[in-house]
Amino acid sequence: MEIMEVIKDQIESNDILLYMKGSPNQPMCGFSARTVQAVMECGQKFAYVDILSNQEIRANLPKYANWPTFPQLWVKGELVGGCDIITEMFEKGELKTLLDEAAPKAAPEA
């Protein structure tokens, strides 16, 4: 699969996806650390891709997204933004609302 198709598939297959440096438990830059903390505090499960361990994604995602920096938070196939935008949304309470609405709903018990 072409790398652009891989990126497209990752974004389409995950309701909440964070491209970051490192992992949620071990972020490898301050921007990724602040972003992942804000996302985690919202309480929804999310997928992540460590761009440091995948150079092809790191090189091509900025072209795909038309967004030059990392981290990048994608929700329901749409780029929400990077660290500054996510931090601001978190502080205003907007991020939790967005992620709560995007999270897959548990099936009601019969």
Question: What is the DSSP secondary-structure string of 53-88?
Answer: S-HHHHHHHHHHHT--SS-EEEETTEEEE-HHHHHH
**pLDDT(25) > 90:** yes
Domains and CATH numbers, the chain: 3-102 (3.40.30.10)
68 with 62: CB under 8 angstroms? yes
- Tell me what percent of the residues of the chain surpass a pLDDT of 90: 92
| Residue type for position 22 | G
Q: Is the pTM of this model over 0.95?
A: no
Average pLDDT over residues 70-78: 97
